[in-house]
Amino acid sequence: MNIDYTNLRKLDLNLLIALDVLIAEVSVTKAAEKLNMSQSAMSHALKRLRIILHDDILIRTSREMEVTPYARQISDRVRQILTEIESTLLSKETFNPATAQSTFRIAASDYVEATIGINLVQQLATQAPGIRIRITNLDKETVMDTLAENRIDLIINARLPLKSWHVEQDLYQEEFVCVVRSDEALTELSVEDYLLRSHLLVSMRDDFQGLGDEILKRQQQSRQVIWSTPHFMAIPFLLANSDCVALLPRRMAQQCAKAMDLKLLPPPMTMEGFTVSMIWHQRNTNRPQHQWLRQQIIDAVSHI
């Protein structure tokens, strides 16, 4: 991409900082106070911004000042640019996991948490006793905004649509297995056996439909789903006390089968697997603590 340096010279870094604070404070006076500037100097900065951006930035209504729609639209990007400048040019971060006191926030499903956490918990306990992990619910509708706003550090999930400022790294390939009680005499499930059973489903939807139903529908078949939950880890407990069957990711199912009376069987129909990856904001790519966290997750996955 070619940069128009002549045009870019009109906007110095101080104006970008002033723009960010003006949008945040919605007040020339408060913005001036925050940057330890005179009100006249901030007013002059606002005037220059209005000329360069062809927008008022702040407008006065009958009651108060308001941010213009355009300024609101660019506010997140302006903050991101300033954050990247700070982390790239000014930050000299160091990170010692043995002594660090930090909290990392990861958005993940309970399946991912259980699968990766088995090894990650012990790694942290022995290598970085001052590090804490906070797992938050993964809402696909809002998680990318949460990442952009720096309210989480990482997303771990099946691949999601990415923005230009996201970075993605694949962790592992996953496949589905059928899970039943271990005292079942079956060594494999025929399509007929599969369809005759009651099914437990992990889904965020309200229609009792999942990937298995989509495959069966193409074959003009259907199954009876009697229980639908958004929680992967509830399913093994329900299976252990019923004659039902469920489709679960293999890695999680294997761990649960070790601890509970469960048996894994191949699905009676061809099913595509999925890729689990971690996603982060590019502003964190070179931060030492973030690099360390990502490597810990990679190490944890390699031993699953």
Question: What residue ranges do the domains of the chain occupy?
Answer: 5-90, 102-164+290-302, 176-272
State in words which class domain 102-164+290-302 has.
alpha beta
SS3 assignment for 217-269: HHCCCCCEEEEEECCCCHHHHHHCCCCCEEEEEHHHHHHHHHHCCEEEECCCC
Q: Per the structure block, which two tokens stand in for 228?
A: 């639908």
The pTM (predicted TM-score) of the whole model is 0.67
Quote the DSSP letter at residue 26: -
Coil, strand or helix: which one is 198?
A: strand
Q: Are the folds of 102-164+290-302 and 176-272 the same?
A: yes
CATH of 176-272, one of 3.40.50.2300, 3.30.465.10, 3.40.190.10, 3.20.19.10: 3.40.190.10
Length of the chain: 304
Helices 39-53, 13-25: axis angle to 10 degrees equals 100
pLDDT in tens, 175-202: 999 999 988 777 888 999 999 999 999 9
Q: Which residues lie closer than 8 Å to 109 by C-beta, 6 or more apart?
A: 138, 157, 232
Looking at residue 154, its pLDDT comes to 96
pLDDT band at 217; cut points 50, 70, 90: confident
Q: Per the structure block, which two tokens stand in for 213?
A: 């139903």
Q: Supply the CATH classification number for the domain 5-90.
A: 1.10.10.10
Over the chain, what is the mean pLDDT? 90
CA angle 247/250/251 to nearest 5° reads: 135
